[in-house]
Amino acid sequence: MGKLDGKVALVTGSGRGIGQAIAMKLASEGARLVINDLDAEPAHETVELLKKSGAEAVACVGSVAAPDFAERYIKTAVDSFKGIDIIVNNAGFTWDDVIQRMSDEQWYAIIDCHMTAPFRILRAAYPVIKVQAQADTERGVEVFRKVVNISSTSALNGNAGQMNYSSAKAGVIGMTRALSREWGRFRVNVNAVAFGLIHTRMTSADAKAGATINIEGKDIRVGLNPELLKSHAQRNPLGRGGTPEEAAGAVYLFCLPESNYITGQTIAVAGSPQ
């Protein structure tokens, strides 16, 4: 018996990287997963990994920023598993530049992915959460459900070249605090984790080499200067950046029954005080 046995967990951006690590961690404690990725191949690969580990999982492929995605995602969870227990708003990417060179397209792409998409997903989940909470009350049981939003230390400290990303991730913290007050009556804990440097394909690539990823037809530069990575490691008390598994562990903490009396909080997962 795992601590999340039978729980239904929705994790956006879980085809690879941190999202996949979160999905695998929740599944290891018994959760059933609704996987999402922008691309079909990584989403289905993660589903197969989960099934091989003995977990139940389904995929809902597509951009979280699409206007119809939220309703489709929630419907996938309800149709497949009859409810919702955990929502992790993880999907995201960066599209950096200094303010004088940042286009409206760059601004809105990041705001839509990191703020509008979680808002729509949580709004779409509301009727399901409300009905489940009412059913719990009628049965005389207290069941806590969890929302974990992903923020960033860029929201806490700011980061040059990330006006869009820092702003969006700061908005996620405000969203977390507001919803914790709205959904407390439903016994939903709403918290956020603010990641520092976590080594993924987006951060580990060599920016000098011109590494890119394709997001909905656009080649977007990713990666960090190797000298910057070295400097970060030297300044970090733990001497390095984090792993996707360590990032997933922080999300997992907010999904446990032990966090039932914690809500509206943001913790930095950065290997250093913020």
The residues annotated with a catalytic role in the active site are 165
Q: Please, what sign has the CA dihedral across residues 119, 4, 38, 263?
A: positive
Q: And the tokens for 107? A: 């601004």
Please answer whether residues 30 and 5 qualify as being in contact, where contact means their C-beta atoms are separated by less than 8 angstroms.
yes
Q: And the tokens for 2? A: 């795992």
Q: Smallest Cα–Cα separation from 90: which of 64, 56, 111, 110?
A: 64
- Measured at the alpha carbon of residue 96, what is the angle toward residues 92 and 100, in degrees to the nearest 5? 140
Q: Where are the beta strands (DSSP E) in the chain?
A: 8-11, 32-35, 57-59, 86-89, 145-152, 188-195, 212-215, 218-221, 266-269
Q: Please, what sign has the CA dihedral across residues 56, 61, 213, 220?
A: negative
